[in-house]
Structure 1
Amino acid sequence: MNITRLLTATTALVATATIAGAESHVEMANEMTIVSWGGAYQESQRKAYVEPYLEANPEVTVTWDESSAEAVAKLRAQNEAGNVTWDLVDAVASDAMRLCDEGLAMEVDHDELLAEAPDGTAASDDFGDLIVSDCFIPQIVYSTTVGYRTDNAEWEGRTPEDICAIFDLEQFPGQRSLEKRPIGNMEWALLCDGVAKDEIYDVLETEEGQDRAFAKLDTIKDSVIWWSAGADTPQLLADGEVVMGSTYNGRLFSLIAEQGQPVEMLWDAQVFDLDGWVIPEGLDEPTLNRVKDFLHFATDTQRLADQSKYIAYGPARQSSAPMVDKHAELGIEMAPHMPTDPANSENTFLYNYEWWADYRDDLDAKFQAWLAQ
């Protein structure tokens, strides 16, 4: 424990907390460092449940860290240094599984920690199959998809119809933006190189399949700006620095619906994924009590439904889905903007987070080596 943690722990106040749904007097820290992704998504978290929680608990202060994209590497480093400075981390499912497997995230009893649904359904049943790890507390279903500018004179009126437009520099010239990691890019590359969707991971498991994916990415490498933060592609599209690019569907919703930019969404082969919370292993008791109290509040049915008022991600609780309503500020119905809407999910790609949990480190290294070539 570092000295800051020690001081925080010793100055924590004794408060009444609702942990596991029961009133109890526990010692809770008054500070939390929450790690998330920045941009529109973090803003939706702030509005939907952080601000309401702080209003109910005015003694608490929250510090944000926007390092979720580097959660695994940074938590490894913090742990090795014996200086874990994060209290709660927003992570994609595959990263949560890796952190859990490495003992860097705490295993939780979902029914003990989280609120029941309004009808009394246990949290584990309400979240169902989305609990993919003992350390993972689901928040949202989202997708990585592609946005493109609608005012490209060089395209001569042509409109991208499928994901393979990314690799078509002849019909759709211009700079692209893709995430600076293999996930998603490798799958799309093989898909657009003729591999059947249900064979992607079998092919990607082989050296030949990985080489084939990199060869396909080679065809556009010189036309790609590589991004690390979810807010990068929306900004690049808004500035006209790229003509199309991948990012999370909620970021594109914000760009299109809230900012009114000349951009459209390409839903074809959108890659479904899960995002949720993990608790770093080794928190002192007052800090852990505060985190548990916050999680009980922030992941209940109402709060997850409230988040969909600010961003187009589907809530992970089944009981929250019927409560998805209109955008809090624009007044538009949010359901048609969700990745799970039938009109948007005619040709989805189901991301295999278990596969990536096993192969991520190796392919990350290969991908970074390929980028450096």
Structure 2
Amino acid sequence: MTFKPFTLTLSALALAAMCGAASAEGLTITSWGGAYQKSQQEAYFKPFAAKTGTKITEEEYNGEAARIRAMVESGNTTWDLVDVDSATVQQGCDEGFLTPIDYSKFGGKEAFVKGSTNDCGIPTIIYSTIYAYDGDKLKNGPKTIADLFDTKTFPGKRALQKSPFGNLEFALMADGVPANEVYATLKTKEGVDRAFKKLDTIKKDIVWWEAGAQPPQLLATGEVVMTTAWNGRIFDANKKDGKNFKIVWDGQLLDWDLWAIPKGVKDMDAAYKFIEFAQSPVPQAEQTKYISYGPAKLEAVPKIEPAILKDLPTAPENLKNALANDVQFWGDNKEELLKRFNTWIAQ
């Protein structure tokens, strides 16, 4: 805050002291903890603090939208910025506990990976659900999303997440539906029927997984010949455990996290300054050195080291037949499709 020159009185001194204390409070930023938050510390928090002198206080949560909502409704918003997933940002916008973002300050929505923007959040990282196989066991492995369903060429068990999300999209793409027509197809009864019919073709060969650590374990033990997974889990297994797991990027299902500002923050300007820094190309590229998520800002991609870029969802080569999660579709249809999915599994 800047003051015009005036005669310094006792009350003015008190006011100046109060303002100094307020600026010293800095920003409280909440994220998901673990390796992900450590990557944010290195790429964003430390450099921003060094550049601006802003003190950053970190907190962690498990993605509970209810915590953000309760804070806003109490009139005591203590989190200035929160890293939220695509479902939470949509919920926060719909229910009004997140602040609308002025994208004109950040290059417009077209500056980010297509489909990742939201009126109440700025995209930060892109991750994806892919499928993978063990390169030591399959020398001439699968190449396309259709191969996930080809049990003649690639016999054996497949592991899929125990959820309609992802599986219905993969089934339709494997059945010949172009990626840009998948959600329009799923909005019809015929499209949903078609997806389940395709899943029927491999139903007896499916092993279900429910936790992110399971897919690499299933591949390592040889219980399955291929598995869907979150790309970061496969990358970590290769890097930390010396595995030779191969990712098939064709038909990958993209999802993302975003920076969101809860309603009622005390210093909107400071929050915007952090977002301006965090969504800029250099810090976004820097984060990829610490974790295998792609930057949401398109301008960051050319700044990523080639050896790192090839393992990211947002590498141009990997994006050729990618599908962006339709958050609104799942918000509108999740309950109905989950019920049908669970019934189908039980049959």
Query: 1:202-351 residue pairs with structure 2 within 5 A?
Result: 202-218=184-200, 219-220=202-203, 223-229=206-212, 231-238=213-220, 240-257=222-239, 259-281=241-263, 283=264, 285=266, 294-325=274-305, 333-351=307-325
1:35 to 24, 32, 35: 32
2:125 to 122, 128, 140: 140
Which has the greater radius of gyration? 2
Instruction: State the alpha-carbon separation in 2 of the partners of residues 234 and 164 from structure 1.
Output: 21
Contact 1:145 1:248 in 2 (8 A): yes
In structure 2, the CA distance between the partners of 1:125 and 1:192, relative to structure 1 (3 Å rule), is closer
User: Which residue in 2 is equivalent to 1:100?
Assistant: 93
State the shift of 1:80 in Å.
6.8
User: Which residue in 2 is equivalent to 1:90?
Assistant: 83
Query: 1:167-182 residue pairs with structure 2 within 5 A?
Result: 167-182=149-164
Say yes or no: does 1:48 pair with 2:30: no
Instruction: State the alpha-carbon separation in 1 of the partners of residues 206 and 322 from structure 2.
Output: 25
Instruction: State the alpha-carbon separation in 2 of the partners of residues 86 and 367 from structure 1.
Output: 37
Letter in 2 for 1:97: Q
Give the 3-state SS of the residue equivalent to 2:165 in structure 1: coil
Contact 2:28 2:80 in 1 (8 A): no
When normalised by structure 1's length, the TM-score is 0.69
Give me the CA root mean square deviation: 4.0
Contact 1:176 1:224 in 2 (8 A): yes
Q: Which structure 1 segments of 5+ residues have no match?
A: 1-12, 18-24, 69-73, 115-121, 327-332
Instruction: State the alpha-carbon separation in 1 of the partners of residues 251 and 230 from structure 2.
Output: 13
In structure 2, the CA distance between the partners of 1:30 and 1:46, relative to structure 1 (3 Å rule), is closer
Give the 3-state SS of the residue equivalent to 1:178 in structure 2: strand
Letter in 2 for 1:266: V
User: Which residue in 2 is equivalent to 1:150?
Assistant: 135
Query: 1:194-205 residue pairs with structure 2 within 5 A?
Result: 194-205=176-187
State the shift of 1:297 in Å.
3.7
2:65 to 62, 75, 87: 75
Instruction: State the alpha-carbon separation in 1 of the partners of residues 141 and 85 from structure 2.
Output: 31
In structure 2, the CA distance between the partners of 1:284 and 1:133, relative to structure 1 (3 Å rule), is closer
Give the 3-state SS of the residue equivalent to 1:183 in structure 2: helix
State the shift of 1:244 in Å.
2.0
Bigger mean CA deviation after superposition, 361-370 or 76-85: 76-85
State the shift of 1:263 in Å.
0.8
User: Which residue in 2 is equivalent to 1:109?
Assistant: 102
| Percent sequence identity over aligned pairs | 36
Deviations, residues 149-175 of structure 1 (Å, cap 9, x unaligned): 1233xx6x5522322333344543444
Contact 1:35 1:89 in 2 (8 A): no
Letter in 1 for 2:121: F
Instruction: State the alpha-carbon separation in 2 of the partners of residues 204 and 349 from structure 1.
Output: 13
1:359 to 323, 327, 333: 333
State the shift of 1:235 in Å.
4.6
User: Which residue in 1 is equivalent to 2:13?
Assistant: none
